């Protein structure tokens, strides 16, 4: 497979107003790509766009019609989309019996169906041209059963399977799809998560230092360049993807012990 080159390409980044999305947008802009960033909030989006000289197109990925219109605007200004890096998403941690039905639905709608909407808006053009790269964002929580992430982990696992299935359909037509599995990453979204994590979730997170958005962005770019189907930024997630049948049975009782101790101390 020929190594991907960024110069002169058009890269669309959703969730581009902060965190991993903003870091990816800045990194590919530095490598000579034309960049479009998309997010719900026009203010922060415009600030990032001005800092890196990118096109800002406000849209909510859960609104399929608005997203298609935003993608059309991006194409009108910057040309056909060569790379989609889909980072828009959210985590609302909480114990299964405490998380409301609405929050379950909200996380599935944004994390999973938002990914569906983004892919449906961008993939037709890539398939028609016979070339393209896509990265969608799952999570370590999709492969490791961390207490407090029943809703989020399930939605992100759905993203991973979605990409795997679609990959079998579009890779023969020239489009490569990779799945990013970021661990805890120091972003505004991560800070918001920490405000509502149950004690057991917080205790497990406390044992692993969060990655920086720039570090995760670097592995995203490397993953696109190499055409990787699974993109990871830490050893634990990489090992879980390679040996889930071995490691998850070992990890589950460890996680349960940490949870019991955290609950007892709370």
pLDDT digits (tens, 9 = 90+) for 163-192: 999 999 999 999 999 999 999 999 999 999
- Quote the pTM value: 0.96
Kind and range of the H or E run holding 56: strand 55-56
SS3 content of the chain, % helix, strand, coil (to 5): 60, 15, 30
Residue 1: predicted pLDDT: 63
- Return the structure tokens found at 92: 């609302």
According to CATH, the topology of domain 10-265 is Rossmann fold (3.40.50)
- For the cut 90, the answer to whether the pLDDT of residue 3 exceeds it is no
Determine which one of 17, 139, 149, 152 is catalytic.
152
Our answer to whether residue 152 is catalytic in this structure is yes
* pLDDT tens readout for residues 185-221: 999 999 999 999 999 999 999 878 899 999 999 999 9
* Mean pLDDT of all residues in 57-69: 98
205 tagged catalytic? no
Per-residue model confidence as pLDDT tens digits over 137-146: 999 999 999 9
Annotated catalytic residue within 156, 181, 197, 205: 156
Domains in the chain: boundaries? 10-265
Query: Catalytic: 138?
Result: yes
**4-8, 66-70, 227-231: range with lowest mean pLDDT:** 4-8
Condensed to tens digits (0 to 9), the pLDDT of residues 31-48 reads 999 999 999 999 999 999
Question: What percent of the chain shows pLDDT beyond 70?
Answer: 99
């Amino acid at each position: 497979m020929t190594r991907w080159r960024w110069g002169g390409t058009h890269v669309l980044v959703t969730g581009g107003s902060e965190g991993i999305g903003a870091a990816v947008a800045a990194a590919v802009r530095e490598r000579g790509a034309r960049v479009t960033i998309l997010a719900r909030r026009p203010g922060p989006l415009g600030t990032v766009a001005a800092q890196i000289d990118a096109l800002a197109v406000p849209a909510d990925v859960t609104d399929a019609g608005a997203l298609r219109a935003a993608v059309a605007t991006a194409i009108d200004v910057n040309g056909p989309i060569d790379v989609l890096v889909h980072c828009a998403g959210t985590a609302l941690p909480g114990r299964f019996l405490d998380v409301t039905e609405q929050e379950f639905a909200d996380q599935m709608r944004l994390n999973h169906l938002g990914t569906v909407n983004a892919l449906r808006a961008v993939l037709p053009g890539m398939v028609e041209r016979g070339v393209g790269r896509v990265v969608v964002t799952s999570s370590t929580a999709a492969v490791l059963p961390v207490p407090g992430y029943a809703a989020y982990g399930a939605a992100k696992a759905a993203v991973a399977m979605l990409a795997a299935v679609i990959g079998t359909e579009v890779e023969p037509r020239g489009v490569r799809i990779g799945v990013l599995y970021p661990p805890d990453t120091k972003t505004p979204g991560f800070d918001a998560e920490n405000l509502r994590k149950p004690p057991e979730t917080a205790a497990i997170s406390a044992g692993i230092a969060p990655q920086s958005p720039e570090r995760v962005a670097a592995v995203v770019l490397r993953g696109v360049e190499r055409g990787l189907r699974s993109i990871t930024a830490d050893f634990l997630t990489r090992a879980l993807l390679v040996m889930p049948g071995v490691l998850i049975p070992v990890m589950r009782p460890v996680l349960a012990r940490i949870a019991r101790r955290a609950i007892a101390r709370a």
